[in-house]
Amino acid sequence: MIKNPIIKGFNPDPCICRKNDDYYLAVSSFEWLPGIPIYHSKDLKNWELYTHVFTEKNNIDLKKLPSSKGIWAPCLTYCKQEDMFYVVYGVMNSMNARYFDVDNFLIKAKDIKGPWSEPVYLHSAGFDASLFHDDDGKKYIVSLEWETRKDYEKPGFISIVEYDPIKQEIIGYPKPLWRGGTDRGCIEAPHLTKHGDYYYIMCAEGGTGYNHCITMGRSKNVWGPYEKDPQNPIVTSAPNNSYERQDPDHLKPKYFNPHSILQKSGHGSYVNLPNGEVYLVHLCSRPFVPELRCTLGRETAIQKMKWTEDNWLRMYDGDNLAKMQVLEPDLPTVNLPTIPDFDDFDNDTLGNFYYAPRILPESFATTTARRGYVRLRGQESRTSLNKVSILARKLTSVYAKITTKMEFFPEVPQHSAGLILYYDNMNYINLRKYYSETLHQSAISIIQLENGTKTEYTDTRLAVDDVPIFFRLHIQGRKTWFEWSYDNITYTQIGKIFDTTKYSDEYCKYGEFTGTMVGITCADRLKHQQYADFDFLEYIADEDKPVD
């Protein structure tokens, strides 16, 4: 059996494709770089973080974008006729006044690891743009055409436009295609595919919250009209019918289903296997209950599907409720490399599982300056939207222990470094070493931002020697706290116990759609030169333990 989620932690909006016996899956990355993670599998059960699309300094500029903006809902496809991978992605620049200013681009590569072509600008009609390769060589772009006008149903409708691969531009303006297969409203995430004689439009509806779902329609003409699947939605966590077309809110917590572990199931794409089997990947969440806060963000799950005799796509068991346990495909099991629990930074390059907000980690972190260490050069404060030195990895369980050994010699109060739990630039907790003018020496203390309100816990201030120091972060369900040590044997708790649930889409007011990260950080708010050396980062998580 396959146990969901297949990719835990902040990995939303999955899009899957197949090349021969290899399966590739891309997810959203928002303000985090490297951008657009791509996972790889041979058996749809075991997955590895294989590569990223944006790994070079000049690939993309996300600096100064607000939290939860940046790269939304990449569409990864493989065109067999060209032996070419394509990625269509949107860069969300602003959601001010609900205008949703987004630019959509197309890139392609022969190898999934690149190099990728220069971006081709498509349009700014709306988000979740997706590419379809037709049998006759024509290509089409579908996206959510975002509605801003008064007295019009919001968020809008799915539009379609042909793409000219020779001129590298769309042909004319997008045209309305589809207004949904249910009355849940908040349609988004369109994918156009073809099976047999039919074109299929697959969308998410109900908002990317607790009424989320996947719906389908079909037509024998790519331009439509499309008929609704009579059993819509085909996958969801909230199977009851609802009418929500007049409510543009995406979260809708009133549709929480207490009988399902997986919540928010929707925004999916499917892949046909060579043996005729069909599997669909979709986003999901596992909230704390009753708070309904998803600290791990939106994750990726998979469901076994089937084509019916009358050519509709259904879950394999005939139900539409997203399942925790899924039958494995008839494929040989292939184990793949996993992200290590312990990183001693002995390699010349950083692991591909490290991320930084808005800038590439390599711009401030190096493993070659001092062998066996990663050196982080300090930059702006952790609240900045510009250049922040946070080397983080995704939190994959709310039962985790993160430990690091640090050498750092602060000289002025603007120097600090340490361990961090980070949701966005307005929500984090940081155990740091810094220079205390009050104590006239190095000290440690905790600083917190909660929805933009900064709290410096001066009661945790403690003078420390300028020797190697160990910091540890404990996450045990709803409870999170820090510890420190000189010898990595005897640890002392510092500060209070924090509420883990607050680091979530539902609680944070300045960002949404992402997930909690943990890692190491350094700041030099004076000259951007002072550095901290970290000997190792250990991440131990119990991923089999449920969120409760």
Nearest CA to 132 out of 39, 198, 44 is that of: 198
C-beta separation of 400 from 539 below 8 A: yes
Residue 105 neighbours by CB distance under 10 Å: 18
Give the DSSP per-residue string, 373-433: SEEEE-BS-TT-SS--EEEEEE---SEEEEEEEEEE---STTEEEEEEEEEETTEEEEEEE
**Polymer length of the chain:** 548
DSSP state of 154: S
- For the question of residue 330 being annotated catalytic, the response is no
Give phi and psi for 153, each to the nearest 5. -65, 135
C-beta separation of 416 from 432 below 8 A: yes
- For the question of residue 188 being annotated catalytic, the response is yes
Helices (H), 205-335: none
Residue 239 in tokens: 């199977």
**Residue 538 CB contacts under 8 Å (≥ 6 apart), including other chains:** 341, 342, 343, 401, 402, 403, 404
Report how far residue 156's alpha carbon sits from residue 336's, in angstroms, rounded to the nearest whole number.
41
Find the catalytic residue in 31, 188, 524, 533: 188
Which residues partner with 71 through β-bridges?
Answer: 30, 91
Residue 268 in tokens: 């999916």
Number of H helices, E strands in the chain: 0, 40
Find the catalytic residue in 13, 31, 128, 524: 13
Residue 63 in tokens: 């600096």
Positions marked catalytic? 13, 188
